[in-house]
Chains A and B, each alone.
Chain A
Amino acid sequence: MLSTVRLKLDNITKEYPGCRANDGVSLEIKAGEIHALLGENGAGKSTLMKVIYGVVQPDSGTLQWNGKHLRVESPAHARQLGIGMVFQHFSLFETLTVAENIALGLPANMSRDRKQLDETIRDVSQRYGMDIDPRRYVNTLSTGEQQRVEIVRCLIQESTLLILDEPTSVLTPQEVDTLFTMLRQLAAEGCSIVFISHKLREVRELCHTATVLRQGKVTGRCEPAVVSIDDIARLMVGNDTPLQTRVDAAVPLGPLMHIRDLSYRTKDPFGTALKHIDFTLHAGEILGIAGVAGNGQDELLRALSGEVRTSAQSVVLDGVDIGERMPGQRRKMGLAVVPEERLGRGAVPELSLMHNTLLTAYHRDLLKGPWVRFGQVRALAQRICERFGVRSAGIDSQANSLSGGNLQKFILGREALQEPKVLVASHPTWGVDVGSAVAIHEALVSLRDQGAAVLLISEDLDELYQLCTRIGALCDGRLSPLAPTGQISIEQLGQWMAGEFESPGLGEDDHAAA
Chain B
Amino acid sequence: MLQLERRPVASPAMQWASPVIALALTVITGFVIFSAMGRDPLSSLTYFFITPLSSAYGWAELGLKMAPLLLCAAGLTLCFRAKLWNIGAEGHFLMGALGASIAAVQLQEQTGLWVLPVVLLVGIVFGAFWAGLAAGLKNRFHANEILTTIMLNYIALNVVVYAVHGPLKDPFGFGFPQSIMFSNSALLPNLIPGTRLHIGWLFSLLAAVAAWVVLARSFIGFQLNVLGQDSRAAEFAGFKQRWLVWFAFLVAGAMAGLAGASEVTGPIGQLVPQVSANYGYTAIIVVFLGRMHPLGIIAASALLALTFLGGEMLQISMNMPKSITQLFQGLLLFYLLISDAFIHFRVRLKPAAPEPRQTSATLAPQES
User: Contact residues of A with B, CB < 8 Å?
Assistant: 10-11, 17-18, 57, 60-62, 69, 71, 305-307, 326-331, 337, 339, 341, 344-351, 355, 358-360, 362, 367, 370-372, 374, 398, 401
Contact = CB atoms under 8 A, between A and B. Distances in A.
Contact of A371 (B218, B233, B359): B218
For the residues of A in contact with B, the DSSP-based class is: mixed
A61 B8 contact: no
Interface string B216-236: 011110100110011011011
Contact of A331 (B230, B233, B238, B360): B238
Contacts of B233: 344-348, 359
A372 B217 contact: yes
17 contacts: A11-B360, A57-B357, A60-B359, A62-B358, A62-B362, A69-B363, A71-B356, A327-B235, A328-B239, A348-B229, A349-B230, A350-B229, A355-B222, A370-B218, A371-B217, A372-B217, A398-B9
Contacts of B225: 351, 355
Contacts, number: 88
Contacts of B8: 17-18
Contacts of B229: 348-351
Contact of A372 (B219, B235, B360, B364): B219
Contacts of A358: 219, 222
Given A61-B359, A62-B359, A351 B226 contact: yes
B39 interface: no
B216 to A, nearest CB: 9
Contacts of B113: none
A328 B233 CA distance: 12
Contacts of B226: 348, 351, 359
Contacts of B356: 71
A337 B233 CA distance: 12
A337 B237 CA distance: 9
Contacts of A350: 10, 229
Contact of A10 (B219, B360, B364): B360
Contact of A360 (B10, B217, B218, B237): B237
* The 7 A-B residue pairs with the shortest CB-CB distance in the complex, in nearest-first order: A327-B238, A328-B238, A62-B360, A60-B359, A348-B230, A69-B363, A345-B232
Contact of B9 (A307, A328, A362, A401): A401
Category for how many chain B residues contact A = 20 to 34
A361 B357 CA distance: 54
Given A344-B230, A344-B232, A348-B229, A372 B237 contact: no
A349 B8 CA distance: 13
Given A351-B225, A355-B225, 10 more contacts: A307-B238, A327-B235, A327-B236, A330-B238, A341-B232, A345-B233, A348-B230, A349-B230, A351-B229, A358-B222
A339 B219 CA distance: 23
A327 B237 CA distance: 7
A367 B221 CA distance: 13
A370 B363 contact: no
A61 B358 CA distance: 8
Interface of B: 8-10, 217-220, 222, 225-226, 229-230, 232-233, 235-240, 354, 356-360, 362-364
Nearest to B226: A348
Contacts of B240: 326, 328
Nearest to A398: B9
Contacts of B219: 358, 362, 367, 370-372
Contacts of B359: 60-62
User: Which of B233, B360, B363 has the most chain A CB atoms closer than 10 A to its own CB?
Assistant: B233
Nearest to B359: A60
Contacts of B358: 62, 69, 71
Nearest to A359: B237
B192 to A, nearest CB: 35
B222 A337 contact: no
Contacts of B217: 371-372, 374
A351 B234 CA distance: 13
A401 B9 CA distance: 9
A448 B238 CA distance: 25
B215 to A, nearest CB: 11
Contacts of A341: 232
A307 to B, nearest CB: 5
Nearest to B236: A345
A346 B232 CA distance: 9
B222 A326 contact: no
Contacts of B10: 350
Contacts of B220: 370
Nearest to A368: B219
A337 B360 contact: no
Contacts of A17: 8
B236 A337 contact: yes
Nearest to B360: A62
B363 A307 contact: no
Nearest to A305: B236
Nearest to A366: B219
A339 B236 contact: yes
Contacts of A346: 233, 236
Contacts of A57: 354, 357
A60 B361 CA distance: 11
A421 to B, nearest CB: 17
Nearest to A358: B222
Contacts of B360: 10-11, 61-62, 69
B238 A372 contact: no
Nearest to A301: B236
